[in-house]
Every structure is written in structure tokens, then in C-alpha cells.
Structure 1
Amino acid sequence: MNKPKAIIFAAAILVWTACTNNNNTSFDASGSFEADETIISAEATGLIKRLDIEEGQSLKAGQVVGYIDSVQLDLKKKQLEAQLTAILGRKPDISVQLSALQEQLRTAEKERERIGNLVKGDAATPKQLDDINAQIVVLEKQIDAQKSSLSISSEGLSKDARTLMVQIEQLEDQLRKCKITNPQDGTILTQYAEVNEMTATGKPLYKIADLSSIFLRAYISGNQLPKLKLNQNVTVLTDDGDGGFKETEGSVVWINDKAEFTPKTIQTKEERANRVYAIKVMVKNDGSYKIGMYGEVKF
């Protein structure tokens, strides 16, 4: 083969290879990766005494990562507990305080039975029986009055005690919130606070996201919309760093039901259609996918 023919043949091979690569790497939509991010905020006001976190750190749900100064809350709780103990100590023991009158009543009832038998044998007068009956009535009324008074006093102290117990429960809730507890599995993306800084309820401490699954937000045209459905498997392509593409299977988990204008940085297969629909494709993340990374979708 002479030299001109060899050059033409080589050029033809390059063109064919480029066309082949273009066909292999064509895509139907493109976008960037994102994750469900959660900002964790303080639930108490005070000085941050400990905060064992750093950006990029993986955390588990329920993991305690720090705490906010709670000395004053703890002292207030101890004060209320002492007041509660004092109130409960003043509650009367109704059964003990009525025992003396009840014993007198039992004695009087026995005496009435004895006098009744004597009256039947004409050994005692009816007046003696009437007197003991009157005494029993007086004792019963004294017992009822004493029981009512003690019950009212006990109920009043119980109400005071319940008020204090509610206040103690409120303080215990505030003390629990002084512990900075991570609510979900994920990786810290951004840290907003440091140890020895003052924080307040609702002030952000850090941002976290579960990166085990990541989402590619892409945009499709109205003509492409009928080709997609929820839970449909699609192919996600990303640069592999060596000039090629890494392919991964993803699942369509969300399709916007309203059209929107094409974002400036996003293009669909039809070169910036006027109106597009956003979709989310979930991809299992092996660590190679990052938030903000560019990706493409084939379906």
C-alpha cells in the first residue's frame, strides 16, 4: 500500500472510531448530582462545650456528637426535686390519722352491743342505749369530717406536686436537647459551629446528607416525557477520568408534573428546548459520585 492510500485509510479509521464513540456515548438528558441534605440545628441555647465533628465525617443515627452547657438547667432541676420531696413529705397519711377515731368507733359499737343485751335482760336502761348510739353517730361524723379535711389537704399537695413534676419533665427535656444527637446516617458536608461558640435554639450546627444513594437531576423535553415512567431503569454515564465514560444503572424516582424553562447550564438532547421537565434518577453510590458532578442519562 502506497503512502497516500495509507493516510486515507488511517483517516477513515479515525472518523469511523469517532462516530462509533459518539454513538456509544450519546445521551438523552444531562444534569448534575445532588443529595437530600439536612441542616442540623441546635435545640438549646448556651455555650458549645463539645462538638466532635468534622467535614467529611460519617455519622450514625442516634450518635451523640457534642453537648451544650447545661449546668444551670441541672441546678434548677435539683431545686425542683427538693421542693417536690418536701411537698410529698407533708402529705397526710389518712389511714394513720383516722386510726384513733376508728378505734373509738369500734369500741363504742361493742359497747352498744353489750348494752343492747343488757336492755333485753332489764339490766340496763333504754337511755344508756340511746346515749351510746348518740356517741357512735358523733364518732362517725368526726371520722367523715376528718377524712374530708385530710383528703382536701392531700389533694392540694398532690396538685402542687404534679405542677413541680411537669416542670421537672420540662427541664429533663431541655437537658436532653443540650446533647447534640445526630438524627440520621450520613456524611457531614458543612460544619457551621465550633467548640466554645455561643449557640441558640434553631441555629445551624452542621449539614449532613446520606450519600449511599445519590440523585442525578436531569431535564427532558416534552417529546421525551412519554418515554419515561417512575421506577424505570435507565443508564447513567459519568466521566471515568481517563477520557471514557462510567456507566451505572439508575432508577427514575421523580418526574416533575410541571414544565419549566431550561436552566442555563443544562442542555437536553434537543439543544435547549423552550420548556423541559425535571427528573430525578437515583443511583447507588460506591463513593465515586459527588454532589455537583455532571452526569448524563440514556433511556
Structure 2
Amino acid sequence: MRKATSILLLVLLLACSNKKNNYDASGTFEADEVIVSAQQTGQLLSFTVNEGDNLSKDEAVGLIDSTNLVLQKQQVQATLQSLSQKTADVQPQIKLLRNQLAVQQSQLDHTINERNRFQRLVEAQAATQKQLDDLNAQVDQLQKQMLVTQQQIAVQQSNTGTQNRSILSESDPLKKQVALIDEQLSKATITNPMAGTVIAKYAQQGELTASGKALYKIADLRVLNLRAYISGEDLPNVQLQQQVKVLVDDGKDSYKTYDGVITWIAGKAEFTPKTIQTKDERANLVYAVKIKVKNDGYLKIGMYGEVQLTPAANKETK
């Protein structure tokens, strides 16, 4: 009986020894977490996020009160619309001047005809030179009047155009203000940035929030990272994109096995984290690595995992 008991204890010790040395590195699972913060200040009119919710990318999950921004936009739009009412319409004044110019042209044509007729009469000695000179003076006067009217038309067009351009130039800054307010209004809608699971909630509907204040934390739990630590002697055996085996205790004195890929290797050594049980092990220098593992729903953040760089059968017994 004693012999059988001794054999059983020896088998258990060997099993524990093999289990203890069946991995090259160990660590805990973590996820790439994103803290979603408010981008506007105001009351949370709606906020439908709850811990454990699975959210889609770009899904609207809340709304921040933006009444003040709406009022600012309406004020700027009203100012923009009033600019067109400040501009001057040059057409009535131009039409009046052109009508005046047409009358002057008609008078000039009539005076020229009279001058030509008196020119013939003077040549026939049927009229005096003074009468002809008076008509020539009238023609010259009418031509100068027409020139002044044409200049008035040009000046009126130029002045009114300059005035209108000055008024309308104010529209560009106002349009940019509207665009800026629209951008701020778009941030009043809380949009989820990535597909994942809500793991923490920091605000409630009805609360007053501020720009930059955390609202909730989300992580993609479909893929977790095992942050493990390897010794310096094992460092030559690891490389980026290397396939490894990840072992997780399933609670039945056995392991669940997952395929993993090394996605990151620390550039310098560090002391073993204090989560390692013995003081001697904590004094060793190790290198951190991240191993990407596809989650079947069993893995959880903070869960302990072990890494096999090579199959256990090929490892030397220590």
C-alpha cells in the first residue's frame, strides 16, 4: 500500500514539474482600448451606451445639447442675408444718365444739320458768318456735355461696383463662420469610433459634460493581446510575425490552446513585473512581447496565459 502511494506521489510531482516547465513565457491578456470623450460642452440629451454593449463603427450613441450653436448659426446667416440688402442698384441711375445722353445726341444731330444748312447759306451769301459761328459753338458745347455724361456713367458704375464689392467681401468670413459652426454641430452627435464592446461607462444621460471629458471606454474583444515576458536567453528564438502557441487554464486541470502571432517585441530589457510570484524571478531582466490571439469568447482582459515558442516535446527538461 505504501509503495503504491509513493508511486502516485512521484507521478503527481512529475506532472507538476512538466506543467511548470511547459512554457517559455507568461503574462496577461489586454485589449486595445479607446476612451471616447465628448467633443462639445453641454447637457447629454441622449446617451444610449451601456457596459457590455457591442457597438458598430460610426454608430451614433448620444447627443449633446447644441442650442447655443444653432442660435449662433442663425445669427450669422441673418447677417449674411442682410448684406445683399446693403448693396446699391446702379441700374436706375445709369438708365437716367443714358436717357440724358440720348437727348443730348438728338440735340447734337439737329444742331449739326442746322450748321450744315447755314454753311451752304453762308457760301450763297444768304446768311451771316455770325449765325454759322453760333451754331458751331452749340455743336462744340453739346459734344462736351455728352462727354461729361459718359464720364458720369463710368464713374457711377465704378463707385457703385466698388461699394458693392466692399459690402459683399464681408460674406466670405461669414460663410466660413457658418462652416465652422456646422463642424461644431456635427461634434454634438457622439459617434462611436470603432467596432467593439463597451467595457466601462463614465457618464449618464442628463449630465452636463465638457469637451474632452471621458464618456465611455470601448475595446475590440474579438482579438486580444497577450503581454508576456521572455528571458534574455530566449530572445534570439523570437521574431515578429512568429507563430506561437498560447495556453490558458480552462479550470479543469488542463489547458485551452490558441494560435498566436508575435506582433511586438520590446527594444530594451526590464525587471520582471511584480505579478511574478517569487522575488528571485522578479529580479531577472526580461523582454516584453505582445502576442495577438483571436478570441473565441473565452478569453478575458487580465486573464493569465502561457506561451510556447516551441512544442513541449522538443523542450529539454529543466
**What residue ranges of structure 2 are gaps of 5+ in the alignment?**
121-131, 310-318
Question: Taking structure 1 as reference, are residues 293 and 142 closer, same or farther at Cα in structure 2, changes over 3 Å only?
Answer: same
Kept after mapping to 2: 8 A contact 1:221/1:273? no
Is 1:38 the counterpart of 2:34? The answer is yes
Q: Which residue among 211, 220, 226 is the counterpart of 1:201?
A: 211
The partner residue of 2:202 within 192, 208, 215 is: 192
Equivalent residue for 1:293?
303
CA spacing shift, 1:16–1:190, aligned 2, 3 Å:
closer
Does residue 22 of structure 1 match 2:13?
Answer: no
1:248 to 255, 258, 278: 258
The question of 1:158 aligning with 2:154 is answered no
Q: Which residue of 1 aligns with 2:185?
A: 175
Q: Is the 8 A contact 2:55 2:198 kept in 1?
A: yes
Task: Report the equivalent of 1:53.
Answer: 49
Aligned counterparts of 1:266 and 1:107: Cα–Cα separation in 2: 107
Cα separation, 1, equivalents of 2:6 and 2:82: 102
* Equivalent residue in structure 2 for 1:144, among 154, 159, 166: 154
Indicate if the aligned counterparts of 2:266 and 2:287 stay in contact, CA closer than 8 A: yes
State how far apart, in whole Å, the 2-side matches of 1:221 and 1:95 are.
88
Q: Distance in 2 between matches of 1:267 and 1:203?
A: 38
Which of 45, 51, 73 is matched with 1:77 structurally? 73
Who is 1:68 aligned against? 64
Matched to 1:18, the amino acid is: A
Do 2:271 and 2:282's aligned partners in 1 also have CA atoms closer than 8 Å? no
Higher-Rg structure is 2
Distance 1:64 1:252 in 2: 35
Q: 3-state SS of the aligned residue for 1:223?
A: helix
CA distance in 1, matches of 2:35, 2:105: 76
Q: Any idea what SS the aligned residue of 1:295 has? A: strand
Alignment of 1:77-156 (within 5 A): 77-94=73-90, 98-102=94-98, 127=137, 129-156=139-166
Matches of 1:205 and 1:47, distance apart in 2: 12
Query: Structure 1 residues 53 and 126, CA, compared in 2 at 3 Å: closer, same or farther?
Result: same
Structure 1, 219-228 or 168-177: larger mean CA deviation: 168-177
Q: CA deviation at 1:267?
A: 7.2
- Structure 1: stretches of 5+ with no match in the other structure: none
Q: Alpha-carbon deviations, 1:55-102, whole Å to 9, x = none?
A: 011111211111111222212322222222122232234566645445
Q: Deviations over 1:264-291 (max 9, x none)?
A: 11379x9446211111011122222211
Give the C-alpha shift of residue 16 in structure 1: 9.5
- Once the two structures are superposed, residues 113-151 of structure 1 have per-residue CA deviations (whole angstroms, 9 ceiling, x without a partner) of 898899889689654554444234323322232122212
CA distance change for structure 1 residues 29 and 147 in 2, over 3 Å: closer, same or farther? same
Write the distance in 2 (CA, Å) between the matches of 1:111 and 1:126: 13
CA gap 1:91/1:8 in 2 versus in 1, 3 angstroms: same
Counterpart residue identity of residue 241, structure 1: G
Is the CA contact 2:272–2:281 (under 8 Å) kept in the aligned structure 1? no
Deviation for aligned residue 1:29: 0.3
Cα deviation code 1:179-210 (max 9, x no counterpart): 11112211111100001111111111111112
**RMSD of aligned residue pairs (Cα, Å):** 3.4
The alignment-based identity, stated in percent, is: 42
TM-score, normalised to structure 2's length? 0.79
Deviations 1:238-281 (A, max 9, x none): 1123221111111111111011111011379x944621111101
